[in-house]
Amino acid sequence: MLELAELLAHGRAVVLTGAGCSTESGIPDYRGPLSRARPRNPVQIQEFVRSPDARRRFWARSTVGWARFRDAQPNGGHRALAALEAAGFVRSVITQNVDRLHARAGSGAVIELHGALHRTRCLGCGDRASRDDLQARILASNRGFAAHGARLAPDGDVDLPDEVVARFEVPACAACGGVLRPDVVMFGEAVPRDRVERAFAEVDAAGALLVVGSSLAVFSGYRFVLRAHERGLPIAIVNLGETRADGLATLRVEGRAGEVLTSVARALGAGGIAAE
């Protein structure tokens, strides 16, 4: 932990976070040690757009999982990063997560690469709306549906039997009656270019890059490590298990994000977190 604290002590670090940053909040990851035993086949955007059955499956599963996903609380890792930002050690957070937990923990400079599940968007008129408002409409036409119990999945949804999904009434856009989608980057889609450029600009202005809770298997996040490496920046990685960028890392810490980052924040006296 001391080496990581020393790396961050110079300030201006940009942090890239993945699902492993939120597992201590009860949100599963895709490629962590436990998740690898439960392979997932998330819906692809092409299938979602063309298939009413795919949309029925997506919204049925999301309806059951939404309350638990929405109510997840920031953990020690989120709070430590907010404290490190407030103390000037962290410049910004680039997150691959769609749970809004960094903002809720108090981080002010956050780029949500993949958006957030807290809003929906219409494929027809483009209207954006609150996911909570949609949940109320869904439950009005699918009474008792959210009572189905199942294990929460990385997307904030749950696995449901086909016969349960078949009974689900799919919601439509309240503004035009069109097809609704989550306001996130779905599998098979590219991150909006302006968002990528903002993230690259943050890396270019940084003094170091800290990766937290990501295997970096997806290029969406890995490209920022490549950018940092090209610029000769120190790269630190905090993760459980190997990552795609281990060979590029200046420092590698094996551990849970909350435990590691809380210790680092204490060591730096960040945000009133007392040094041990």
Residues marked as catalytic: 114
Residue tagged 């790269």 (tokens): 235
Write out the two tokens for 24.
């201590």
CB neighbours of 152 closer than 8 A, spacing ≥ 6? Answer: 26, 27, 28, 65, 68, 69, 158
For residues 244 and 215, the answer to whether their CB atoms sit within 8 Å is yes
Write out the two tokens for 40.
């997932």
Please, is 276 exposed, middle or buried when counting C-beta atoms within 10 Å of its C-beta (0-12, 13-18, 19+)?
A: exposed
Would residue 88 be called left, alpha or beta, if left means φ above 0 and alpha means ψ between -120 and 50 degrees?
left
**DSSP line for 190-243:** PPPHHHHHHHHHHHHT-SEEEEES----SHHHHHHHHHHHHTT--EEEEESS--
End-to-end CA separation in angstroms for the chain: 12
